[in-house]
Structure 1
Amino acid sequence: MDIKVLGSGCANCNKLEQMVFDVLAEQNIDASVTHVRDFKDIVSYGVMSTPALVIDGQVKFSGVVPSKAKLTEVIMEAAKRG
């Protein structure tokens, strides 16, 4: 699974990145996690507000830090699709 956190490095972007690592560790899921900070790369996903979360090329969240429960649900769904 390929996960990208899109954002400049603001507090919310860093919070989302940490939550992703926490969920992956708690659920024992192996994934590649990248924090994309370059504005051109962020816009290439069609994202206009950050933080955003992209899993396997699909934007899952944009402009919001989801609850940990919702983040876990989205990551678990993606892991099942595999």
Structure 2
Amino acid sequence: MKHVKVYGPGCKRCETTEQMVKDAAARVGVEVDVEKVTDPKAIAMAGVISTPGIAVDGKLVHAGGLPDRSRLESWILA
């Protein structure tokens, strides 16, 4: 199981990103545990300068804007 953190204050883009992660995981057949991180201090500590941010298994893979669908799938499969 992959552990995915979605960093953001709870805006529409952050909610969309969370759903995109779940949808991508379902498409590639990988079980994911998605954690939403909304605390500004925790977001900054993770190195996310622009939200939404995504970390997969502790590695920050994306920050700022909606992620590309194919790249999202590759991050989940990695």
Equivalent residue letter for 2:40: F
Aligned equivalents of 1:9, 1:36: Cα separation in 2 = 9
Which residue of the partner structure matches residue 67 of structure 2?
Answer: 66
Gaps of 5+ in 2: none
TM-superposed CA distance for 1:53, in Å, is 0.2
TM-superposed CA distance for 1:26, in Å, is 1.5
User: Secondary structure of 1:25's match?
Assistant: helix
Aligned equivalents of 1:34, 1:20: Cα separation in 2 = 11
In the alignment, structure 1 residue 28 sits paired with structure 2 residue 29: yes
Equivalent residue letter for 2:13: N
Equivalent residue letter for 1:38: D
Aligned equivalents of 2:73, 2:64: Cα separation in 1 = 18
After superposing on structure 2, the runs of 4+ consecutive aligned residues of structure 1 that deviate more than 2 Å are none
TM normalised by structure 2 equals 0.91
Which residue of the partner structure matches residue 18 of structure 1?
Answer: 19
TM-superposed CA distance for 1:66, in Å, is 1.4
* Count of paired positions: 77
Which residue of the partner structure matches residue 39 of structure 1?
Answer: 40
Aligned equivalents of 1:13, 1:53: Cα separation in 2 = 10
Gaps of 5+ in 1: 78-82
User: Secondary structure of 2:47's match?
Assistant: coil
Equivalent residue letter for 1:45: A
Kindly, what percent of the aligned residue pairs are identical?
36
